[in-house]
Amino acid sequence: MTNASTSHPPAPHLYLQVLVAIALGIVVGHFFPAFGEALKPLGDAFIKLVRMIIGPVVFLSLTTGIANAREHGLVGRLAAKTLGYFFVVSTLALVVGLVVANVVRPGDGLHVSAASLDTGKVADYVAKAHDASIVAFLLSIIPESLVGALTGTELLPILLVAILTGLSLGRAGERGQPLLVLLESSMDVVFRVVAMLMKLAPIGAFGAMAFTIGKYGVGALANLAVLIATFYGTSLLFVVVVLGLIARASGFSLFRLLRYLKAELLLVLGTSSSEAALPSLMAKLEQAGCRKSVVSLVVPTGYSFNLDGTNIYMTLAALFIAQAMDVPLTLSQQLLLLAVAMISSKGAAGVTGAGFITLAATLSIVPDIPVAGLALILGIDRFMSECRALTNFTGNAVATVVVAGWEGALDREQLRRTLGS
């Protein structure tokens, strides 16, 4: 059976390299903006390389984990606890965004009219939002073929195939052992590939950051600084208070966990993509004492259903648009917005640019807030994507440790040693 020792997370010094790369990217993007924009392919290429390996990592980890857990009743119980946790915490994130928007009111005083906005640039996002219905989302979980799921990058079809394969292997008994051994050996090879790809992380972070600063410029932040500052502050509040209390109640320190995952956090910051750190997050959580079967189910599922940063952004940005366009919202209208956001955040899960698309989907359904208001924040959305990705990543790391503790699938002594507590 493959264990934590076969996983290969990034080298301890990787976070320093990524940190230097991010700083260099900011400098290059600021002083040589045209050159910084031209470096975009470096970031895109690295993210594509990581997405290339995510499917095999998730499939092999989850399949072998389920096959080795002979008690198949565990899978259903684990899935129920995981989805229950995701529902409660992600809903809480929506509520936090709603409350902060009402208290801070970042859009007050802008007095923007819909006629003055250029909505052409947001048309594509609105179109994608209409395509992201719940029915379409549920149907997209089922792949066109068994093998086809493994060649794509959508996590939920891979999860479905992995669960079915793992259950079948577990029930096959001795006849399934040769295939199980092969899959376990393949997983070791795949994680070695991950370790190789992570050596390119500084290059990817450098290119992505240089592009962001080069294209949009630091000056772009000033125009809507109140919204950006409010979103970052709200996300920090959610992580420190809500996730911090959840972690403490579960017997571990959030800050020690974040220190342990500092290389991955910097990678997410540099690339604005939580997916870039998914394979190494799974490896490090397993090394920290979480059972492989729990890590393999909770982390990929969380990347679709537990998007805390995206949820905060949705309600906060929606109310910002309403305030900026002088659209008063009653309590019942805001509760309707909350209810719609709870659904639409699942319907667009896994879609590229999910944060902006889920917001577009929500505004398309709630008639009180003009969809044209999306044009207000399109220009700064890129600057908020880093915070969304960091919050999403942190939320899923905490969720995995918490659920593993609930299931008795957490080696607490190993967790204490790993986190240095």
Tokens of 35: 């050159």
Does the structure show a pLDDT above 80 at 302?
yes
Q: CA–CA separation, 354 vs 350, rounded Å?
A: 7
Domains defined for the chain, CATH in brackets: 4-419 (1.10.3860.10)
193: number of Cβ within 10 Å: 16
pTM (whole model) above 0.85: no
Highest-confidence range of 86-90, 110-114, 162-166, 208-212, by mean pLDDT?
A: 86-90
* Percent of the chain's residues with pLDDT above 90: 20
Length of the chain: 421
Q: Tell me the pLDDT tens digit for each residue of 7-56.
A: 455 555 776 788 888 889 889 988 898 998 899 888 888 878 877 887 88
- pLDDT attached to residue 240: 95
Does the structure show a pLDDT above 70 at 117?
no
Q: CA–CA separation, 260 vs 280, rounded Å?
A: 12
Q: According to DSSP H, which parts of 272-380 are helical?
A: 278-287, 292-305, 308-324, 331-347, 354-365, 374-377
Q: Between residues 421 and 332, which one has the greater pLDDT?
A: 332
Within 8 A by CB and 6+ apart from 195, the residues are 8, 9, 10
How many Å is the maximal CA-CA distance in the chain?
70
- pLDDT attached to residue 349: 45
